[in-house]
Amino acid sequence: MGTGWVWMRDSEQQLILYRLLVEKSLGLMCIHDLDGVLLAVNPAVGRSLGYPPEAGTGRNLKEFLAASVRHLFDDYLQRIRIQGMDSGFMRLVASDGTERVWSYRNIRHDEPGKPPVVLGHALDVTAQVATDLALKESRIALTQARDELALRVAERTSELQQANERLRMEIEQRSRMEEEALRVRKLDALGVMAGGIAHDFNNFLTIVQGNIALAAAQIEPGSPLQEILNETLSACGRAASLASQLLTFSKGGAPVRKTGDLTGLLREAVALAGAGSPVRFQLEIEAGLWPCEFDAGQMSQALHSVLLNARQASEAGGAVSVRAGNTVAGEGLPVSPGRYILISIRDQGCGIPPEIVPRIFDPYFTTREGGAGLGLATAHAIVIKHQGYIAVQSKLEAGTTVSIYLPAASREAASVAAKGHLPAQGRGKILVMDDEDLIRKLLTKTLGRLGYEVKTARNGQEAIAMYRQAAEAGDRFNAVIADLTIPGGMGGKPTADKLKAMDPSAKIILSSGYSDDSTIAEFRRFGFDGVLLKPWTQSQLNEVLEQVLGE
């Protein structure tokens, strides 16, 4: 007989080993009396429920049961007393509030001269129960889905046989709409990056452009520095145009639309496209062209991009025909039915291969050497943001036609636009709110040159306090220029809400280098009286102030 067996016969050593067996066991073990009071639990119980082992000793097992099964505990004790054992499933609540399921087999132990106890052994089968339940539910759901599918197939078969031609037309229209949606998603993805870049770029450009303009105004005429500063200002203008293209891609590039006539814009765009080119441009505008709500800067950019492509396609000879007229769109186009202005631009170039036509509005796609691939993508984004539609029809060796549909303005909007605004009179006191110190300083200097008295605030809290203090002193501000976004502080929208609540007649101008559609495009709905987009020039600043103060 081995020495290990001899050692095991030592009762004290046996006790030590049995204790180790219980403490190291993966099984859940406990001892409780016939009333359910826990006398001992092993560490595996604590790990299962998230309690230290000593937390259970002295407490009743019933306390750890889920509320939904706690009423069954007395029956369990009764079975132990009568039958001497019980087995089944037990639902308990862990320390984190989740429920655990144990599969248990508990036995009553009687020892002469001592109170009877219950020796409990269990396994945590929570994961298995959850898996079984999920599998059962999946089978039920699969059976229901199969039955429902079979029923629907039987119902639809007859209908599809009668509506085959109609379905074909719907598929074609849906395909066009999906291509349009995919194109929009591509632009939105690019806009996430472009909008953030343009926002910071416009802030910096505002400071550079504004200070150069101030410096240029203080130099004597004929100074050598005058030409340098003018060239720098010209470069700032080109940089602002680039930022405008980036914003057009972004969700913040929403058009600031005003109701007007497209006639003048079309004539300017055609004249610009034809300047210095041998290509002949023919412009035809229908009499009584409906008014349209449009952003003049963005729409000019869109028309220029399309006209430039038409000119480049016709450089070998021929003419470009531009026609604008009224039309009523029905259900054949992916736009809402209603009144539209249709602008058709047709060239006599070599045409576009059919496999390329679906990609011409994709950002950075170009077939021209040295091209950036942004022109038509920009035009597409602008038209879509005007709730319009742009389409291309092309045939090899026969030319290309680009059709732009823009919603006509309502008669009410056109009537309001015709009334105009009164010019501002006199000067006043302006409150500037911007988190950029350099922009606050620039506005102080620029507004001072225009004759205004200026006070500045870093955020909405400061602006509201200064506005209230001035009103109480009887020296009210004539207008407030508020930056839309103030990192870590109150921005333009909540500031406008509070100022309007304090003073409904307050004149508030929204200033921003980047924003979302609902803010810039619908600034009046948010309590603003005007918009000053960065980067601005002194003349643009003066024009906005005159318009707002003159209303």
Tell whether 40 and 115 lie within a shared domain. Answer: yes
Q: Residue 58's domain is classified under what CATH number? A: 3.30.450.20
Tell whether 465 and 433 lie within a shared domain. Answer: yes
Identify the CA nearest to 333 among candidates 292, 401, 394, 390. 390
Query: Range with the lowest mean pLDDT among 12-26, 33-47, 63-77, 103-117?
Result: 12-26
Tell whether 65 and 192 lie within a shared domain. Answer: no
Tell whether 395 and 458 lie within a shared domain. Answer: no
pLDDT digits over 483-492, tens only?
Answer: 998 888 899 9
Query: Range with the lowest mean pLDDT among 70-84, 285-299, 405-419?
Result: 405-419
Mean pLDDT value across the chain: 82
Which is more confidently placed, 439 or 375? 439
Which is more confidently placed, 336 or 322? 322
Tell whether 469 and 403 lie within a shared domain. Answer: no
63-67 contacts at long range (C-beta below 8 A, 24 or more positions apart): 64/92, 64/93, 65/90, 65/91, 65/92, 65/93, 66/91, 66/92, 66/93, 66/99
Cβ-Cβ contacts under 8 Å for 247 (sequence gap 6 or more): 194, 195, 198, 202, 253, 514
Examine the pLDDT at 355 and tell me if it is beyond 90.
no
- The reply to whether 453 falls in a domain is yes
- The reply to whether 137 falls in a domain is no
Strand 508-512, strand 530-533: pairing? parallel
Per-residue model confidence (pLDDT) at position 248 = 57
Which is more confidently placed, 115 or 184? 115
pLDDT digits over 30-62, tens only?
Answer: 999 999 999 988 898 888 888 887 887 889 999
Examine the pLDDT at 431 and tell me if it is beyond 90.
yes
Tell whether 268 and 185 lie within a shared domain. Answer: no
Torsion (CA) 157, 158, 160, 162 in degrees, nearest 10: 160
- The reply to whether 353 falls in a domain is yes
Per-residue model confidence (pLDDT) at position 364 = 64
Examine the pLDDT at 389 and tell me if it is beyond 70.
yes
Tell whether 185 and 322 lie within a shared domain. Answer: no
Per-residue model confidence (pLDDT) at position 245 = 59
Per-residue model confidence (pLDDT) at position 86 = 93
Tell whether 481 and 497 lie within a shared domain. Answer: yes
- The reply to whether 58 falls in a domain is yes
Which is more confidently placed, 97 or 255? 97
- The reply to whether 394 falls in a domain is yes
Examine the pLDDT at 110 and tell me if it is beyond 60.
yes
Q: What is d(CA 257, CA 296) in angstroms, rounded to the nearest whole number?
A: 8
Tell whether 338 and 373 lie within a shared domain. Answer: yes
Q: What is d(CA 322, CA 262) in angstroms, rounded to the nearest whole number?
A: 13
**Residue that finishes a domain, picked among 231, 249, 267:** 249
pLDDT band with cut points at 50, 70 and 90 for residue 187: low
- The reply to whether 163 falls in a domain is no
Per-residue model confidence (pLDDT) at position 460 = 93
Specify which of 94-108, 158-172, 514-528 reaches the highest per-range mean pLDDT.
94-108
Per-residue model confidence (pLDDT) at position 243 = 64
Examine the pLDDT at 516 and tell me if it is beyond 80.
no
For 89: left if phi > 0, alpha if psi spans -120 to 50, otherwise beta; the answer is beta
Residue 371: domain span? 258-416
Tell whether 325 and 224 lie within a shared domain. Answer: no
Per-residue model confidence (pLDDT) at position 413 = 53
Q: Per DSSP, what are the bridge partners of residue 430?
A: 454, 479
The stretch 228-232 carries a mean pLDDT of 78
Per-residue model confidence (pLDDT) at position 424 = 40
Query: Range with the lowest mean pLDDT among 53-62, 158-167, 250-259, 479-488?
Result: 250-259
Total domain count for the chain?
A: 4
* 194, 173 contact by CB (below 8 A): no
pTM: 0.46
Q: Residue 384's domain is classified under what CATH number? A: 3.30.565.10
Q: What is d(CA 354, CA 309) in angstroms, rounded to the nearest whole number?
A: 17
Per-residue model confidence (pLDDT) at position 503 = 93
Identify the CA nearest to 32 among candidates 76, 72, 70, 71. 76
Which is more confidently placed, 295 or 375? 295
- The reply to whether 150 falls in a domain is no
pLDDT band with cut points at 50, 70 and 90 for residue 213: confident
DSSP 65-77: B-TTTGGGHHHHH
pLDDT band with cut points at 50, 70 and 90 for residue 160: confident
pLDDT band with cut points at 50, 70 and 90 for residue 254: low
Tell whether 412 and 266 lie within a shared domain. Answer: yes
Which is more confidently placed, 123 or 12? 123
**Residue that finishes a domain, picked among 416, 435, 452:** 416
Per-residue model confidence (pLDDT) at position 173 = 72
| β-sheet with 85-93: strand ranges across | 38-41, 28-33, 117-124, 99-109, 85-93
Q: Residue 228's domain is classified under what CATH number? A: 1.10.287.130
- The reply to whether 450 falls in a domain is yes
Per-residue model confidence (pLDDT) at position 551 = 64
Tell whether 403 and 460 lie within a shared domain. Answer: no
**Residue that finishes a domain, picked among 379, 400, 416:** 416
pLDDT band with cut points at 50, 70 and 90 for residue 189: low
Q: Residue 483's domain is classified under what CATH number? A: 3.40.50.2300
Examine the pLDDT at 370 and tell me if it is beyond 60.
no
Per-residue model confidence (pLDDT) at position 465 = 95
